[in-house]
Amino acid sequence: MYVAFKTATHNFKHTTKKQAISGRKKLTRKLDELDLRILKSLTEDSRKSTTQIAKEAQTTRPTAIARINRLEEEKIIDFGPKIRATNIGLKFATLHFESQEGQSTEEIVNMLSKCPRIVQLIQLTGKPTYTALILIDNAETLLSTIDCMSSTLKIKVNAYQRVLPLIGDSFNVKIDLEKKESTPCGKDCQLCLAYQQNECVGCPSSTKYKGQI
């Protein structure tokens, strides 16, 4: 398993991530050449020291640090660790669904951002139609996840299928070390028939979870 960590040598400022879509701000300035050189260096390997990044960006170390801090504050870059989930036996699936009439996108985002199986959520522009990239252990886990999402959010599921990432195979994965009796959506894994029959491994945030993470 490969995990890319933000190193202490960067000495970057930490900012609080806002889960709700209302917290996202559009950049009001144009990225300049120095921004792009720094971004190129970081995207090649975010574990580089700021000294190396400054050298590749052809600037001083203090300037590189200041620019990186600004890019992070502007939500242009994110230093969260990435995990190649398929290398530890986990799989991916996509779930295509529609929200209820009157149900806001913010409500969908706030609920699904708590789910440890949601890797990405994409909305069709201007429509209440979404696609979720889901982390699963097996086929039964996928079905149980769909059941939980459907009952919690009252969404209309249009389609789902197993998928395999080909370009970009590492993702931010929620690792919950302080597992709880109930899941983030309020379910109890022990009441699930698939879990009782050792088919579904449960929710990664639950103390009942039997999977990899």
Other CB atoms within 10 A of residue 99 CB: 19
Looking at the fold, whether 108 and 184 belong to one and the same domain comes out as yes
Per-residue pLDDT for the chain (213 aa), expressed as one digit of tens each?
Answer: 333 333 333 443 433 334 344 445 667 789 999 999 999 999 898 889 999 999 999 999 999 999 999 999 998 988 877 899 999 999 999 999 999 888 889 999 998 999 999 999 999 988 999 999 999 999 999 999 998 888 888 899 999 999 999 988 888 888 888 899 989 888 899 888 889 998 899 999 999 999 988
With respect to residue 128, please indicate whether it lies within any of the assigned structural domains. Answer: yes
The reply to whether 94 and 74 lie within a common domain is no
pLDDT of residue 133: 96
The pLDDT of residue 9 is 38
141 and 72 part of one domain: no
Note the pTM of the prediction, 2 decimals: 0.75
* Residue 67 sits in the same domain as residue 113: no
Q: Which one of 80, 100, 118 terminates a domain?
A: 80
Please tell me whether residue 47 adopts helix, strand or coil conformation.
coil
CB 1 within 8 A of CB 85: no
Query: In terms of domains, do 41 and 122 share one?
Result: no
Question: Would residue 20 count as lying in a domain?
Answer: no
Backbone phi and psi for residue 37, each to the nearest 5 degrees, phi listed first: -65, -40
Tokens standing for residue 166: 């080909």
The tokens for 16 are 């609080």
Q: Quote the CA–CA distance of 32 and 115 in Å, as a whole number.
A: 37
Would you say residue 188 lies in a domain?
Answer: yes
Q: Please tell me whether residues 71 and 97 are part of one structural domain.
A: no
Q: What pLDDT does 207 receive? A: 93
Domain identity same for 172 and 121: yes
Domain count, the chain: 2
Question: Quick one: pLDDT at residue 25?
Answer: 62
CB count, 10 Å around CB of 56?
A: 16
The Cα-based distances of 111 to 16, 17, 21, 150 in angstroms read 19, 16, 12, 12
Same-domain status, 37 and 64: yes
Would residue 212 count as lying in a domain?
no
Whether 131 and 115 share a structural domain: yes
The pLDDT of residue 16: 37
Q: Which domain holds residue 53?
A: 1-6+29-80
- Within this chain, do residues 68 and 124 fall inside the same structural domain, yes or no? no
Cβ atoms 80, 15 nearer than 8 A: no
CATH number at residue 170: 3.30.70.920
In a domain, 119, yes or no: yes
